Structure 1
Amino acid sequence: MLAYGLLALGLSSVLALVTWSVVSDHLTEQRQSSAMAATADNAAAFRYGLFGAPKPCRLQDEAECGSPAPRSDITIVELLSSLPSTDAAASMVYYDHQWYSLTGRPSDLPADLIETVRNGDPAHRRITVGGQQVLAVGVPMSGPDEAFFEWHPLASLDKTLRTLKITLIGAAVVAALIGLAVGRLASTLALRPLAALTRVADAVARGQLDARLQVENDRDLGGLARSFNQTAADLERRVAADARFAGDVSHELRTPLMTMLNSMQLIQNHRAELPAPVREPVELLGDDLDRFRRLVIDLLEISRDDGGDQGSRETVRIADLVRAAANATAGRDVTTVAPAAEALSLQADKRRLERVIANLVENAEDHAGGCKGVGVEAGGLGVVITVDDAGPGVPVDNRDRIFERFGRGETGNRSRGVGLGLAIVARHVQWHHGTIEVTDRPGGGARFTVELPAKVL
């Protein structure tokens, strides 16, 4: 688009400059020629009015031929005022070593112009008189050291040239804008397949693995589109296979896991009967079984999402759901709801949204020094949910990685997590068309902020 615009501007500017040069020179020369012709005609009329017609020449009185005597019945000033009406602003004559004029002042004439004309050569100069541009024209008369001068205003010529200049500049600007528009249209048509590729690639990157390009028949990008669609299809099959594998493994592990958990609960109920050296290994085994249980549950959740589970949407009051899920997970009241957020509702999957709040609070309780509070207020996309913890915070370069699968923080106790809780949170928030980010909490710690498109129903 920029190239088209610059090309149009360059071509129109060159054309405008050429047009300006040719037309302005032609108009100026035409004005000078007409002024010179009018001045010469007036000089001839002045000479005729002053001396009358030349005497006819005869062989016996050649000395008197062409040398008429001045008329005595008319003055020079009267002759100047009786000249034919032209556009001249002033007429002056240098005759018999004296200046005669009606309106102009001979002192305003350039000295070199006067000298040239008195020497017998016609001449003209562009001068400024009374703040106005005029063309001073002088022509010699038949007598020695006689000259006739006139001023011709240039306002009309200057106005014409100014109008021409504005028109050419406007035409160049319009041509540049048309060039930009044509460039925009051409670039849009040329890059439309690439724009589609960008959108589909972005959709695949965001987890929409069924996105495909519809330009396989394009003459230029058909091969690329087919390769991309094949790659996306292979990736979708691979992810679906991995999800089925994770789901199958998780389901197969549930039965022995429940057996081990029940057995561990039975052992812990008789913990007092165990020998002292056995109690500590039993506690460690219980902690690992609990982590194993969480891992299996998270894997089942991940495989359910990867397997294409669309869930079910229902109207959910955000404040009530967050309050119930956060307080139950923390085992105490940690939720604060702003009055403006009490009536906000959302078409949501209740199970997924409860899991988002529970995972964030559980992450704060287990890996970040405890949950400092959960806030719900109106704003952002509709409702803003914040979960604050008392940990050391999340370094800036880790704030994206912690939402990846098996991504863990590198400070405090975060390394004890299995790394799936926050990944599940990110997937569920995205499923609700929301956003999540982590920042620093005022006073220390981390703040997880979830924005969801809620409104008053």
Structure 2
Amino acid sequence: MRSLGLRARISVSFALLGLVLSVGISLSAWLVVRTTLMTERTTSAVAEATVNAQATDRQLALGRVSLPVILDGLPGQDSSAVLVRHGRVWASSNPHITPDHLPEDLVTAASRGDAGTTTYHEPALGLKVLAAAEPMSHGDVLVELFPLDPLHATVRRLGWTLSGAAVLTTLAAALLGRLASDRALRPLTAVTDAARSIAGGRLDARLRPTGDPDLDPLAASFNDTAQHLEHRVIADARFAADVGHELRTPLTTMLNSVEVIRHRAGTMPPEVAETVELLAGDLDRFRRLVVDLLEVSRHDAGESLHLEPVDLPDLVRRAADRTAGRVVTTVAPDAVGTRMEVDKRRLERVVVNLVANADTHGGGCTGVHVARDGGAVTVTVDDAGPGIAQALRDQVFDRFSRGRSTPTPGLGLGLAIVQRHVAAHAGEVTIGTSPAGGARFVLRLPPGGPGPPAVGRVALGPPDAG
């Protein structure tokens, strides 16, 4: 199981912290409110029972009205029942509540002159009640029952409200964690972008200092490393270019000499003529290798594009058909006459390398198709080979890499040149499978062309960092 990324871990940590805090605060608030409400309810119940007990005691002392009439006339009752024991006689304001329903210990204590309260579930009322007992004269007792269900309903609503608030607080904390992680990891994103740019061939990519004393040393160290790497790559590229140029002169002389000898092959013994043909083939492969090395070294040395308006379908048709030695190109009607600002030499080289790769490594080029995709132009090259395995498709554009499982001639520079030239035009080249099962290379050039060179500076952090 893959572990969570750093951004996700920060968000989860904030969410857990928010959950713990919100649950703790909500639980504390719920307990405080519940206790306060219960205390207030008990206090008000005792006060009301005391007032009713005094009023009843006075009325009994006067002896003018009966006990049931006294109970009916008690003022401000918010209780469920009032029960009074006068001598040995009990009277109740609620016919469903009898003395048998009352807590015996509470009545006994009140008979001794000790007021008290208790809570219990009253079956006759079907709810939980608060019983408040008050002593009266001559050992008489008044017990008043107050329903607690409204209070419990209020406490339950408060609990649900606080639970919802805890959930919202947790979600808000997770969102805050996401925002905080995005801001905290922005320098890492900038480093990643700059490193990706360098890996993609933009050796001038640098991190822009922001004035943050913690981040600027990282930017300086990264920029120093990138600058040393750029100087090293450029020096190596120039060395390779110099070597290539030095090799071209004697190579041209040898090619011309061999060509002169081949013209006289008819006067030579068969074994000598065969040797000359082998030498000519090796020299031609050597020539292509030198040309490829020079092409790669030009790219590494940062040679700029020479843009000019070009009829792209026509350029592809001429390069592809000439390389294949036959007509292999078709152009979609909506792509005919499409003109783009491109480097003509490099785009021709891209098409030549793709078609040559199909002929040499893919069993022959089966077709080249030019089409429009919105404003972009796509060039599709299919071959008759077995295709390229999915696991090898990311490797075939590396230098000196061969994406086929069968051994083939060449050093693996052709597709590396394709990828670099296409990237220089802000395009992309991908690998798929043709309808016949062979490899399919799809070149896509954006409508705006390569555009101006990027300024190779990536901000390490937010502008207000530090």
Q: Is the 8 A contact 2:97 2:124 kept in 1?
A: no
- What amino acid does structure 1 have at the position aligned with 2:39? E
Asked whether the equivalents of residues 127 and 148 of structure 2 are also in contact (C-alpha less than 8 Å), the reply is yes
Matching of residue 292 in structure 1 with residue 286 in structure 2: yes
**Corresponding residue for residue 38 of structure 1:** 48
Q: Quick check: 1:346–1:453 contact (8 Å CA) kept in 2? A: no
- C-alpha deviation, 1:180, in angstroms: 4.8
Cα distance in structure 1, aligned partners of 2:212 and 2:28: 44
Shift of 1:206: 1.3
1:12 aligns with 2:7: no
Partner of 1:390: 384
In structure 2, the residue matched to 1:441 is 434
Alignment partner, residue 234 of structure 1: 228
Say yes or no: does 1:148 pair with 2:143.
yes
Alpha-carbon distance between aligned partners in 2 of 1:12 and 1:37, rounded to the nearest angstrom? 37
| Amino acid in structure 1 at the alignment position of 2:416 | A
The CA deviation at 1:129 is: 7.5
Offset, 1:145: 7.8
- Tell me what 1:453 maps to: 446
1:343, CA displacement in angstroms? 7.1
Find the partner of 1:366 among 338, 360, 364: 360
Residue 365 of structure 1: how far off its partner (Å): 0.7
SS at match of 1:119: helix
Matches within 5 A, 1:260-275: 260-275=254-269
- The higher radius of gyration belongs to 1
Change in Cα spacing, 1:27 to 1:267, as seen in structure 2 (3 Å) is same
C-alpha separation between the residues in 2 aligned to 1:203 and 1:210?
9
Asked whether 1:82 is paired with 2:77, we answer no
CA distance in 1, matches of 2:419, 2:126: 77
- Structure-1 separation of matches of 2:416 and 2:122: 83
Equivalent pair of 2:106/2:118 in contact (CA under 8 Å): no
1:312-327 to 2 correspondences below 5 Å: 312-327=306-321
TM-score w.r.t. the length of structure 2 is 0.80
CA change 1:383–1:110 in 2 (3 A) is farther
| 1:419 counterpart residue number | 412
Secondary structure at the residue paired with 2:401? coil
Tell me the matched-pair count. 433
Q: State the superposition RMSD in angstroms.
A: 3.4
2:462 is aligned to: none
Q: Give the aligned partner of residue 342 of structure 2.
A: 348
Alignment of 1:217-232 (within 5 A): 218-232=212-226
- Distance change >3 Å, CA 75–CA 315, structure 1 → 2: farther
* Pairwise CA distance, 1:235: 1.5
**Structure 1 residues 372 and 413, CA, compared in 2 at 3 Å: closer, same or farther?**
farther
Paired AA for residue 448 in structure 1: F
User: Kindly tell me: are residues 292 and 16 of structure 1, through their superposed partners in 2, closer, same or farther at Cα, counting changes over 3 Å?
Assistant: same
Matched, 1:118 2:128: no
Q: In percent, how many aligned pairs have the same letter?
A: 45
Instruction: Report the Cα distance in structure 2 between the residues aligned to 1:220 and 1:160, rounded to whole angstroms.
Output: 53
Partner SS state of residue 451, structure 1: strand
Match of 1:404 among 384, 398, 403: 398
| SS in structure 2 of the partner of residue 401 of structure 1 | coil
| Inter-partner Cα distance in structure 1 for 2:197 and 2:122 | 72
Residues 361, 404 of structure 2: 8 Å contact kept: no
Distance 2:89 2:330 in 1: 106
TM-score in terms of structure 1 length: 0.81
Aligned-residue offset at 1:370: 0.2
State which drifts further: 432-441 or 181-190: 181-190
CA pair 312-126 structure 1, distance change in 2 beyond 3 A: farther
| Distance in 2 of aligned mates of 1:82 and 1:426 | 100
Aligned to 2:454: none
Is 1:22 equivalent to 2:32 in the alignment? yes
Structure 2 distance, partners of 1:128, 1:281, is 117
Residue type at the aligned position of 2:424: W
Instruction: Report how far residue 318 of structure 1 moved.
Output: 4.4
Question: Partners in 2 of 1:194 and 1:27 — Cα distance?
Answer: 53
Q: Distance in 2 between matches of 1:344 and 1:90?
A: 96
Q: Which moved more, 1:401-410 or 1:173-182?
A: 173-182
Q: Distance in 2 between matches of 1:94 and 1:455?
A: 100
Q: Is the 8 A contact 1:345 1:454 kept in 2?
A: no
* Paired letter, 1:22: V
Contact 1:88/1:153 (8 A) holds in 2: no
Q: Structure 2: how far apart are the matches of 1:311 and 1:212?
A: 22
Tell me what 1:59 maps to.
Answer: none
- How far 1:226 sits from its partner (Å)? 3.0
Contact 2:384 2:436 in 1 (8 A): no
